[in-house]
């Protein structure tokens, strides 16, 4: 039997998270390209709930703004004061009304939890006919966690906090993860019966279990197989641990899909990165955002890509690329920087110490080394010499440069935009090109060379250069004398 579509998933994201010691709300701290709450929302969305609800409190303006970006259909519910988990869920019912059907309650600081695990909990909840189902897991060290106590039928009879547990209960390793599936109507009725008779004076959602069981309803528990994915994040250490665990999970998924990762320990990928079989990632590679690597491409070592596409059989090494489109069979690097708007067509090259921005490089065109290309179109088969600068900015506005197909830009040229170098045209090395070069022409824009004889010996007397010049001059005189003598003969 498959689980029904939940009436709602409620994500608790109102806590301050003081142990993070941060101006940023805890649930907005990022790992693998998403905020913590972003990962939770992605898992919840896999259940296709009728309503996705997020309880916000601390830093609520920041959290609500973030929700608009990552999950605009999510409904924020404000918890004005931190009155406990039961109080947070009660605010949902008071602000949104009844939620008939299955209601899931999860936490915004559990970024490792899989949507499949939530779906399995819902299935167990409905299959067993429970009024409430607790997500539990067996953990190696249960110290500090509430223990799950079951009866002979496997129903949950109690959730006993560590400080209240007996010696026998301390031996239980099945703990409460803090996530639940409820019958929405029964949950709504029970919330109004929770008391604040506890040390913190708060409304605890766990008290609903006792209320429902006291009313004769069954309370069950679904045990997650992987205890690691049930762990929450409370400080920077746990955030780093979760980041490492999630990265390992993502890399395993890619490797099992046919991607070669040479050194998983130094390779980092975001959750939205996609790769095709036979892609190869070399050490110290970082793939961020919605980067996509096509079949046969080799990325790394020492590459950082953000929102970048790498075409089939391309090679990218020692490079930083942001929002670039790298075509098939291209070569990028080493030590290249491709900025937003850069597009390399098939077989193009952006080589050593090349920076590009808003540049389109045609099929087979080459920008081999020591060049800045900004706001330009470079035609197919063109070659850009070393030290070339596309001077696109006049201090007020950006201007465009066009280099035609099979054009040749000589080394150390400056192309002052707006300017066009036509198809098959050349520019002489060292030229500052400020006017269009027609197709097939050569543009020469440099001063004539003038040599001042004996300048070094006059102006740099006593230096090694002057001595070398003097020796060279003496050698030339001797050779000249020999030639003169031979000529006399």
**pLDDT band for position 58 (50/70/90)?**
very high
Q: Judge contact between 282 and 301, C-beta under 8 A.
A: yes
Q: What is the mean pLDDT of the chain?
A: 94
Global pTM reads: 0.90
Q: Of the given ranges (213-222, 317-326, 365-374, 472-481), which has the lowest mean pLDDT?
A: 472-481
Residue-by-residue DSSP string for 55-113: EEBTBHHHHHHHHHHH-TT-EEEE-SS---HHHHHHHHHHHH----SEEEEEETT-TT-
Contact 216, 167 (CB under 8 A): no
| DSSP string covering 174-197 | EEEEEEEEEEHHHHHHHHTT----
236-443 belongs to CATH 2.160.10.10:
yes
Q: How far apart are CA 226 and CA 450, in angstroms?
A: 78
Question: Average pLDDT, stretch 414-423?
Answer: 98
Which token pair is 414?
């400056």
**Catalytic member of 29, 125, 369, 399:** 369
Residue 3 — pLDDT band, cuts 50, 70, 90?
A: low
Q: Are 280 and 298 in contact (CB under 8 A)?
A: yes
Give me the count of residues in the chain: 489
For residue 463 the two structure tokens come to 């230096």
Helix (H, G, I), strand (E, B) or coil at 238: helix
Average pLDDT score over residue span 388-404:
97
Same CATH topology for 8-230 and 236-443: the answer is: no
Catalytic site residue 369?
yes
Is pLDDT at 397 greater than 80 in this prediction? Answer: yes
Residue 478 pLDDT > 70:
no
pLDDT above 70: residue 480: no
Please list, residue by residue across 175-205, b when 16 or more beta carbons sit within 10 angstroms of its beta carbon and e when fewer do: bbbbbbbbbbebbbbbbeebeeeeeeebbbb
Instruction: Report the interhelical angle of 207-214 vs 184-191 (nearest 10°).
Output: 110
To the question of domain 8-230 being in CATH 3.90.550.10, the answer is: yes
The conformation of residue 162, written as its DSSP 8-state character, comes to G
Residues 253, 255, 261: CA angle, nearest 5 degrees: 130
Q: Where are the domains of the chain?
A: 8-230, 236-443
Give mean pLDDT, residues 66-77: 97
């Amino acid at each position: 039997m498959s689980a029904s579509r939940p009436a709602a998933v409620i994500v608790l994201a109102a806590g301050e998270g003081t142990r993070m010691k941060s101006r940023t709300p805890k649930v907005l701290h990022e790992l693998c390209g998403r905020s913590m709450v972003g990962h939770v929302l992605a898992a919840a969305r896999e259940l296709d709930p009728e309503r996705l609800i997020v309880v916000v409190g601390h830093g609520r303006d920041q959290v609500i703004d973030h929700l608009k970006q990552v999950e605009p259909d999510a409904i924020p519910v404000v918890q004005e004061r931190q009155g406990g988990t039961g109080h947070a869920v009660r605010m949902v019912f008071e602000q949104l009304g009844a939620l008939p059907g299955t209601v899931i309650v999860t936490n915004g600081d559990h970024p490792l939890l899989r949507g499949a695990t939530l779906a399995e909990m819902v299935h167990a909840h409905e299959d067993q006919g429970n009024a409430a189902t607790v997500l539990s897991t067996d953990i190696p060290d249960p110290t500090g966690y509430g223990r799950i106590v079951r009866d002979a039928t496997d129903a949950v009879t109690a959730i006993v906090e560590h400080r209240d547990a007996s010696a026998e209960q301390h031996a239980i390793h099945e703990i409460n993860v803090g996530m639940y599936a409820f019958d929405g109507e029964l949950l709504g009725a029970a919330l109004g019966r929770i008391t604040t008779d506890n040390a913190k004076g708060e409304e605890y959602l766990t008290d609903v279990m006792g209320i429902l069981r006291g009313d004769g309803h069954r309370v069950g528990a679904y045990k997650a197989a992987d205890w690691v994915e049930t762990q929450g994040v409370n400080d920077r250490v746990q955030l780093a641990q979760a980041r490492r665990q999630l990265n390992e999970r993502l890399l395993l998924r890619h490797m099992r899909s046919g991607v070669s990762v040479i050194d998983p320990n130094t390779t980092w990928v975001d959750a939205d990165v996609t790769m095709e079989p036979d892609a190869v990632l070399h050490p110290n590679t970082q793939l961020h955002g919605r980067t996509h690597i096509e079949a046969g491409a080799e990325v790394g070592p020492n590459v950082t890509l953000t929102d970048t596409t790498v075409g089939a059989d391309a090679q990218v090494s020692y490079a930083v690329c942001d929002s670039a489109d790298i075509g098939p069979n291209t070569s990028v690097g080493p030590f290249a920087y491709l900025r937003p708007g850069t597009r390399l067509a098939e077989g193009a090259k952006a080589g050593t110490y090349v920076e590009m921005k808003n540049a389109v490089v045609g099929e087979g065109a080459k920008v081999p080394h020591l060049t800045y290309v900004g706001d330009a179109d470079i035609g197919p088969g063109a070659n850009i010499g070393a030290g070339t600068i596309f001077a696109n900015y006049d201090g007020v506005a950006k201007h465009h440069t066009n280099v035609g197909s099979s054009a040749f830009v000589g080394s150390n040229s400056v192309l002052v935009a707006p300017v066009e170098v036509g198809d098959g045209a050349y520019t002489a090395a060292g030229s500052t090109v400020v006017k269009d070069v027609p197709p097939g022409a050569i543009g020469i824009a440099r001063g004539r060379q003038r040599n001042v004889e004996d300048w070094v010996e006059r102006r740099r007397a006593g230096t090694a250069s002057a001595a070398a010049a003097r020796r060279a001059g003496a050698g030339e005189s001797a050779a000249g004398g020999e030639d003169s003598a031979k000529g006399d003969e």
